[in-house]
Amino acid sequence: MPDRLPNRPDDPAGRTPADDALAARLTLPRYPRSAAYDARWTIENQMGPHALWLLEWLAGALGPDVLRPGARVLDLGCGRAMTSVFLAREYDVRVTAADLWTEPGDNARRIAGAGVADRVLPVRAEAHDLPFGEETFDAIVSVDAYQYFGTDDLYLPTLTRLLKPGGTVGVVVPALREEIDGTEPPEHLEPFWEPAFWCFHSPAWWRRHWTRSGAVSVTAADWQPDGWRDWLLWCDVVAEESGDDFHVRMSRESARMLRADEGRTLGFARVVGRRR
CATH number at residue 143: 3.40.50.150
Instruction: Per-residue pLDDT tens, the chain, 276 aa: give them.
Output: 346 678 875 555 567 899 999 999 999 999 999 999 999 999 999 999 999 999 999 999 998 899 999 999 999 999 999 999 999 999 999 999 999 999 999 999 999 999 999 999 999 999 999 999 999 999 999 999 999 999 999 999 999 999 999 999 999 999 999 999 999 999 999 999 999 999 999 999 999 999 999 999 999 999 999 999 999 999 999 999 999 999 999 999 999 999 999 999 999 999 999 999
Quick check: is 205 in a domain?
Answer: yes
pLDDT digits (tens, 9 = 90+) for 202-236: 999 999 999 999 999 999 999 999 999 999 999 99
Quick check: is 46 in a domain?
Answer: yes
pLDDT digits (tens, 9 = 90+) for 111-156: 999 999 999 999 999 999 999 999 999 999 999 999 999 999 999 9
Report how many domains make up the chain: 1
How many angstroms separate the first and last alpha carbons of the chain? 48
Contacts of 154 (CB under 8 A, 6+ apart): none
Quick check: is 53 in a domain?
Answer: yes
| 266-275, strands of its sheet edge to edge | 120-124, 94-99, 72-76, 137-143, 163-176, 266-275, 216-223
Quick check: is 91 in a domain?
Answer: yes
Residues making up the chain, counted from first to last:
276
Quick check: is 25 in a domain?
Answer: no
Domain range for residue 183?
Answer: 37-231+262-275
Quick check: is 102 in a domain?
Answer: yes
Q: What is the pTM of this model?
A: 0.95
Q: How far apart are CA 120 and CA 133, in angstroms?
A: 18
Q: How far apart are CA 14 and CA 8, in angstroms?
A: 10
Quick check: is 217 in a domain?
Answer: yes
- DSSP 8-state secondary structure symbol assigned to residue 162: G
